[in-house]
Amino acid sequence: MGRSQAKSGRPLSSSEAAVALGVCERTLRRYIAGGRIRYHRLPGGHYRIPVEAIDEFWAQSTRAKEQRRGARAHATRASSRPDPITTARRRIALGSGRDGDYDLSPEHLAELRARFATARST
């Protein structure tokens, strides 16, 4: 989008607005459907996005990111390190859960080695 289009104040087409936001047109349509960006609909069904709506979208996105970042920092400060024994107990034992969910803690691996060593010796 050229600077002359942004300064002119005329509403942008969906393709121009998508370029201004740095997203594809389909993503812009998702934003429109989700109410995340203001728009006008022409009688033919085409969208027109006011230039101010793009600035509002960026401001809203920035505020949301800052809120998430602040909430994450607060949660990190409020939580303490998990107890390794409790965490190990919650893990799924090897071969008893879904594929890819395995307890690979040193304690459990030592238990498996001992179990297989006794099974092999018999």
pLDDT digits (tens, 9 = 90+) for 45-74: 999 999 999 989 988 888 888 887 777 666
Same domain, 105 and 62: no
- Please check whether residues 25 and 60 belong to one and the same domain: yes
Q: How high does pLDDT run on average in the chain?
A: 78
Token digits for 70? 């602040």
Q: Give the pLDDT confidence score for residue 106 in this predicted structure.
A: 86
Q: Provide the pLDDT for residue 15.
A: 94
Confidence of residue 9 (pLDDT cuts 50, 70, 90): confident
> Are residues 63 and 10 located together in one domain of the fold?
yes
Residue 3 confidence (pLDDT) above 70: no
Kindly state whether residues 15 and 37 are assigned to the same domain. yes
Q: Do 61 and 9 have their domain in common?
A: yes
Q: Are residues 52 and 99 in the same domain?
A: no
The C-alpha atoms of residue 94 and residue 105 are separated, in whole angstroms, by: 10
Using DSSP, state whether 87 is helix, strand or coil. helix
State the CB neighbour count (10 A cutoff) for residue 15.
13
Mean pLDDT of 11-32: 93
Q: What CATH number did the domain enclosing 62 receive?
A: 1.10.1660.10
Q: What local confidence, expressed as pLDDT, does residue 40 receive?
A: 92
Residue 19 — φ and ψ, nearest 5°? Answer: -65, -40
Element (H, E) at 40: strand 40-41
Q: Are residues 55 and 92 in the same domain?
A: no
35 and 93 inside one domain: no
Q: Give the total number of structural domains in the chain.
A: 2
Same domain as 38, residue 72: yes
pTM over 0.85: no
Residues 19 and 49 in one domain: yes
| Domain span holding position 43 | 3-78
Does residue 56 sit in the same domain as residue 94?
no
Instruction: Indicate if 56 and 88 belong to the same structural domain.
Output: no
Using the predicted structure, report yes or no on whether residue 43 has a pLDDT greater than 60: yes
